Structure 1
């Protein structure tokens, strides 16, 4: 649950309330403060789980992951004198992650999602563990987590081991922009390393928090990209002298997918000031213009489903075993299996790649004199005398084609590539974390395509204004404001120049969700 404090920083309370995707993203991006609930019932529930585990260990002495080895090693009994060392061993032998390190926002998102799960009261962790995790946010301590090494069941064991290690003062963290050993960071913050209680390493590591955290970030980016692609389609329609009748509300009442209809309505609103004297170049535009709401609309219509699935996972207990403190029972299951998140990731990346493909086709029309209805080749703004040596956006269009091709290639579903591992104990796994990483890669590539198209549509509309084939009063207030904002970052291209810096700036703007895009009146993730 999110509240605003007196400093206009959001407070996200962990404990009795459910979290939203926005809570996770706000914590990840530094706009929120983590608060551990002081509700007496919540605190009592957490302590009751600890007390039950202690009593069960005393009276029966046999608990999976406490007095047994892990996974396939479940048949291996751990003698009482070694039980205290077992959690530390779990965190240490999983310290084998490779690949790039998660960004600090991504790692903060992982911390938030894991804290939410452990606060559900089914994991048997101590209040001290929850307080130390919360303190990591207060002191800007972020575990450094390699992104590779998880098969998505038994949860994100290897990447989450880096959180367990940081809590006990091992491995490296980032603290206020500086890379330090966890032990030094904890000392600087005035915090004591945690001594892991029985089951606590398992509770931290045995869950779906990495894949869920990455997909919360992906959701926010996909939601913005969905709206941005609609705005870009509006600008491409203007630049190509397209037909605004393709976005008539009566059409979409006949095929009433709500997200699709909303996308069409947004585009129609952008084009509403063209006026009765406007004459489109064609009765029916090519599909990348005419069918744009149908392409973008699939993502818009799936976003509420994606939200429901991700927020259910976010607010779930997903380690093993779970503790039913009311019935005083230990429940052995497989909630660490990340199949739901994997499906969201595989589905979302396919829909996002379709946006890349749509925009790539729009760009191809804009730069080609056979299709762009009077715009110069490659949208070069050079004078006729210098046109022979200027090539405008020729290379940018090639780049966009390359980024699109890679995005499409990465849509192969990861969730069907289960591997039998860990002595065939983990013989069916979700691959959810790989799917989530794929989704983020497809998002990055599609944002790159969008940055190329932003340069193109801005250049094309400026050329149209120079030609006099569009007048400023036909653009409308929202479109005019958006073009003016783009003009802060995109200079008119009258002579060839390197555009890498401009592209990178635009990608940063997209990922920061910099430009306001349409008014959102709903909380279900659809554009409105």
Structure 2
């Protein structure tokens, strides 16, 4: 029997397990470390680059949080950059021809020139050729009818500038320090080029996007920049005007410096890094949502037992199972991880695939995300231009480090992981909303009468739409390569395109996560509402039955039969309005008396029917009272696992998204109640879910969920967004 090297064994060799044992959780740990590092960088306000230590957190800190980028002041850095320039000058002094320095570019590399500075301008001329509209250069809100802007978000552009600077500082590019310093000065002064969204095949690097960075530092009067966008609405002006206002001297590119700036994978790697940062959080959140869905469905969580993962010891499966168990610690809404199991329990003997196989489903996804992070971290600290200067050997080599196939490989793994997670969460969400699958929850998770309240039905449809789009986005980009540039770039990575699609997939999965979390919170509220109601009605029901049956022994025996039938009937009749539900559930009273007729003797049918009607009335009054009290003060948090409670309270308290009470929640014109309920405004369901979506995208939800796991592992917990 295969087992993990860390699996504990008894002396006889049999496997021994503690369901609360802490196993290694490498993906979650790395995700938290990135968040913690981001918090540190954001607080410090600076990111330092040296060509070798750039990481995902640093890219996010600079691009999204506006951290100042500093060059690590080491003598070796300046010396290596200067030596690479001297090596190039030595080549030229010998009359050598060197690609991109005194030859043409790409398929035109058979041409030669002596105008070295003009050649770099010619490089900019043919690469600054992509489409931007007037709206892309406008400071006002977009008014066009296009589906999206034709320019990159400034966050992407800032990340691109950082990654390119980190590559150039490595001293393999024959770039002078002044060029590098100007790129960093523009970045730190929030002068960000407007870069066209489309037009790069990431073959000879991301030539087109990076050429607009180059155009900005050259003060090109037809290259536009956004100034001051980190602190509000940016001012849009030409690069020439921006440099003049900032008293920055425009750069005249020396031999190879244009090529050194634009011949690399910086745009693809930067955008991919931003996507991976969010993807990792979404993967951890999906494990919490699986735990929350299990509670909503009152699931048998036996599938999360460590033995199951240990005998098939994939790292991702072990991690997913452990994390889900950790989120569920202390839960009163799941069962199956107890030392003694109830094998006589009615209902499903095991859960359906979306819950039961979630550790196996997530396993390769977590491993792929970790692999993608390894690939991108190497790429962030690589020399990706051409030719590359070998100072140690006083030589220059022509190659193809600009080919961004590694970035494409990473992003396609990320996208496939996102799609698989989305499919799993959609299945779980649908199971909670569909009363035929939800183990007794009302249709569409309506808290009022389901005949007139369809509550989360739209969520089910919307989630299907998001999941379909996510499935389309998961398709590989790499098999759509077209031969380009005189057939010189006949194979190209499409790395930036793949990274763009990955961020689109992040958006779609974030929508699904918001829907699933809203659904899960509503579902556990309803599960707790009905579970506590059934518990509260037990003693009054017992007293009513005792008044009907004068024999105390018979009353006790009948009650046990009756109560089991009642619990089953209550949940089985969840599709009925409250009055019908109570009436249906009360019918089991006669069934129970008949089942124990040898103890009860003859009881008049009329007497039994009168007791049933009395029971039905009592049920309805008690349920309506209990529901109203629950709406005012839900007790759900006391029944949740320690981890799911963190997410639930984040939604209910921090975001202020309430339990949905039904049709009464819907805002209408001229509402006599002023469109206020319980002292809060009425909102559409979409408005509540949108609040959760924004918390998913800004990272605050990920902070809470990853922070919980870190605290459980002894790593501490704090929020980047506090």
Smaller-chain TM-score bracket: over 0.9
**Counterpart check, 1:476 vs 2:641:** yes
TM-score by structure 1 length?
0.93
**1:335–1:16 CA distance, 2 compared to 1 (3 A):** closer
**Unmatched segments (≥5 aa) in structure 1:** 524-528
1:394-433 aligned within 5 A: 394-433=457-496
Preserved contact between residue 9 and residue 31 of structure 1 (Cα < 8 Å) = no
- Paired with 2:353 and 2:71, the residues of 1 have a C-alpha distance of 51
- Paired with 2:244 and 2:390, the residues of 1 have a C-alpha distance of 36
**1:218–1:3 CA distance, 2 compared to 1 (3 A):** closer
**Counterpart check, 1:358 vs 2:394:** no
Q: Which residue of 2 aligns with 1:47?
A: 82
TM-score by structure 2 length?
0.69
**1:221–1:204 CA distance, 2 compared to 1 (3 A):** same
**Counterpart check, 1:180 vs 2:237:** yes
- Paired with 1:333 and 1:86, the residues of 2 have a C-alpha distance of 20
**Counterpart check, 1:348 vs 2:348:** no
Of stretches 248-257 and 12-21 in structure 1, the one that deviates more from structure 2 is: 12-21
How many residue pairs match? The answer is 518
Preserved contact between residue 229 and residue 359 of structure 1 (Cα < 8 Å) = yes
Preserved contact between residue 51 and residue 168 of structure 2 (Cα < 8 Å) = no
| 1:468 match: secondary structure | helix
- Paired with 2:278 and 2:39, the residues of 1 have a C-alpha distance of 23
- Paired with 2:440 and 2:314, the residues of 1 have a C-alpha distance of 35
1:55-70 aligned within 5 A: 55-60=90-95, 62-70=97-105
- Paired with 1:276 and 1:26, the residues of 2 have a C-alpha distance of 39
Q: Which residue of 1 aligns with 2:688?
A: 502
Q: Which residue of 2 aligns with 1:158?
A: 208
Q: Which residue of 2 aligns with 1:367?
A: 433
- Paired with 1:411 and 1:277, the residues of 2 have a C-alpha distance of 33
Deviation at 1:522, TM superposition (A): 11
**Counterpart check, 1:127 vs 2:177:** yes
**Counterpart check, 1:97 vs 2:126:** no
Preserved contact between residue 16 and residue 37 of structure 1 (Cα < 8 Å) = no
Q: Which residue of 2 aligns with 1:114?
A: 164
Kindly report the root-mean-square deviation, in angstroms, between the aligned alpha carbons of the 2 structures.
2.4
Choose 1 or 2 for highest CA Rg: 2
Deviation at 1:7, TM superposition (A): 9.1
Of stretches 345-354 and 494-503 in structure 1, the one that deviates more from structure 2 is: 494-503
| 1:148 match: secondary structure | coil
Deviation at 1:57, TM superposition (A): 2.0
- Paired with 2:530 and 2:126, the residues of 1 have a C-alpha distance of 67
**Counterpart check, 1:267 vs 2:324:** yes
TM-superposition CA deviations, 1:369-425 (whole Å, max 9, x none): 10011111111122x3xx433211111211110110111112221112221111111
**1:70–1:334 CA distance, 2 compared to 1 (3 A):** same
Find the partner of 2:57 among 1, 22, 27. 22
- Paired with 1:5 and 1:139, the residues of 2 have a C-alpha distance of 21
- Paired with 2:45 and 2:362, the residues of 1 have a C-alpha distance of 31
TM-superposition CA deviations, 1:423-452 (whole Å, max 9, x none): 111111112111111211111111111111
TM-superposition CA deviations, 1:170-229 (whole Å, max 9, x none): 211111122222222222322111111111111111111111111111111111001110
Q: Which residue of 1 aligns with 2:112?
A: 77
- Paired with 1:325 and 1:141, the residues of 2 have a C-alpha distance of 33
| 1:190 match: secondary structure | coil
Preserved contact between residue 419 and residue 509 of structure 2 (Cα < 8 Å) = yes
- Paired with 2:164 and 2:435, the residues of 1 have a C-alpha distance of 54
Deviation at 1:334, TM superposition (A): 0.7
1:452-471 aligned within 5 A: 452-468=515-531
Q: Which residue of 1 aligns with 2:709?
A: 519
- Paired with 1:420 and 1:476, the residues of 2 have a C-alpha distance of 55
**1:248–1:71 CA distance, 2 compared to 1 (3 A):** same
Preserved contact between residue 66 and residue 83 of structure 1 (Cα < 8 Å) = yes
Preserved contact between residue 414 and residue 431 of structure 1 (Cα < 8 Å) = yes
Q: Which residue of 2 aligns with 1:231?
A: 288
TM-superposition CA deviations, 1:306-363 (whole Å, max 9, x none): 1211111111111111111121211000111111111111121011100110111111
**Unmatched segments (≥5 aa) in structure 2:** 1-33, 132-148, 337-344, 533-634, 667-683, 716-722
TM-superposition CA deviations, 1:251-307 (whole Å, max 9, x none): 111111222211211111222213599588533111001111222222212222112
| 1:154 match: secondary structure | coil
Q: Which residue of 2 aligns with 1:491?
A: 658
